[in-house]
Amino acid sequence: MANATATAGMVSPHVPGMRAGGRDMARSGMVRCWCRARRGKVVCAAPPSSVNGDVLMGNDVSPRRLPRVVGMGSKLIGCGSAVPKFEISNDDMAEIVETSDEWISVRTGIHKRRVLTGEESVKGLAIEAGKKALEMAHVEPDEVDLVILCTSTPDDLFGTGAQVHTALGCKNAWAFDATAACSGFLVGLITATRFIKGGGYKNVLVIGADSLSRYVDWTDRGTCILFGDGAGAVLVQATAAEEDGFLGFDVHSDGQGYRHLNAKTSVGGTEEVIPSTNGSINLPPKKPAFSFIQMNGKEVFRFAVSSVPRSIVASLEEAGLTNSDIDWLLLHQANWRIIDAVATRLQIPSEKIISNLANYGNTSAASIPLALDEAVRGGKVKGGDIIAASGFGAGLTWGSAIMRWQ
């Protein structure tokens, strides 16, 4: 067999001297791993630490469960969601800006939304959604290998994922934040399946959580009526390749579209951060901040109704399916006009559309898993159903995935 490459405790399937049921060590520089072939797959694991042939125990040994199996498929086995307590109706919005329930609902399909108040946080919503997903999946927190928090609005500039995974008790996992705005959850979901297929991970918890209400101009009726806060999560688990429930995907980005939807960093406020420079370089004296969300609604609409159908068709082609095979269309919940236009172009009837936009508005990275969780718990989505999902938003970023609910 060809040469092996060992990286971070993993090797490629081509390992010299590999025998079925046998055990060899592959080396690449200072990285080593134990490998064995099993049913056409390579099982990889970090070897026990040793000094002069003596195995080290206790804190010197990684707690990771072994072995890892690469080349596996993925299946969605659990979901959960959480929303803030405080609800703002369209009538409430009419008391804030010059608008009405009819004006908002006709143009967007939104009737109400939830926003964070008091001590509520993105972290808290993410934890609640994650717990529910683990409970549905019957997976213990210490069985999780990776937590991906998809958010553009973390509670901390440096990310919130690690705090979420620690609070959930996922002591054998690691975590990171993924930022791709309203496409964030889809990006996180695809990333999870790649860690399972290429990294041998078994259980990956993907959480979408956002609070765009923090960044809207509540005097601008063109944007403040659209957004709400929330969180949704799914548990993605490894399965045999022939049972893979993640059937196809397609992703894109275009930085030229940034001008149509953004929330730029700025330096604002009057409080001095550095009262005296002592004659040194004149550092920025103001607190850093972000501007309100800026959006060109017409351009975003044109982008979405054009790009999303093409992406879904590409994912269907990879999956070897057609429009008629779709049981449910699950789009980012941005605007009902966008959802309806995409469904019309794909010739998907309205009864196959999953949407909770009317109750929550645009919850960014939370919108897809939040709507999925309600559809599953409400008995709408059943085992074996084919779901065509698509996220799109700032960046610009967009993509789609075809998956089977288990």
**How far apart, in whole angstroms, are the C-alpha atoms of residue 186 and residue 397?**
10
Residue 396, preceding peptide bond in cis (omega within 30° of 0):
yes
**Candidates 35, 150, 182, 224; catalytic one:** 182
Contact 166, 115 (CB under 8 A): no
Burial of 101: CB neighbours in 10 Å, binned 0-12, 13-18, 19+: middle
Return the C-alpha torsion angle 144, 182, 229, 232, nearest 10.
Answer: -30
Q: For the beta carbon of residue 120, count every other beta carbon within 10 angstroms.
A: 18
Helix/strand/coil for 316? helix
Query: Taking Cα atoms as reference points, which of 144, 188, 182, 354 lies closest to residue 261?
Result: 182
**How far apart, in whole angstroms, are the C-alpha atoms of residue 273 and residue 362?**
35
**Candidates 35, 332, 356, 359; catalytic one:** 332
Residue 95, both tokens: 């008391």
Contact 385, 404 (CB under 8 A): yes
DSSP class of 17: T
Q: Give me the half-sphere count of Cα atoms (radius 13 Å) on the Cβ side of residue 82.
A: 24
Report the residue count for the chain.
Answer: 406
Q: Is 362 a catalytic residue?
A: yes
Q: Which residue has the tokens 């979420």?
A: 164
Query: Taking Cα atoms as reference points, which of 394, 362, 361, 365 lies closest to residue 294?
Result: 394
Q: Which residues contact 182 (CB under 8 A, 6 or more apart)?
A: 332, 334, 362, 364, 365, 367, 391, 392, 393, 394, 397
**How far apart, in whole angstroms, are the C-alpha atoms of residue 332 and residue 185?**
9
Helix/strand/coil for 379? coil
**How far apart, in whole angstroms, are the C-alpha atoms of residue 40 and residue 241?**
11
Query: Taking Cα atoms as reference points, which of 49, 22, 47, 21 lies closest to residue 34?
Result: 47
Instruction: List residues with catalytic annotation.
Output: 182, 332, 362
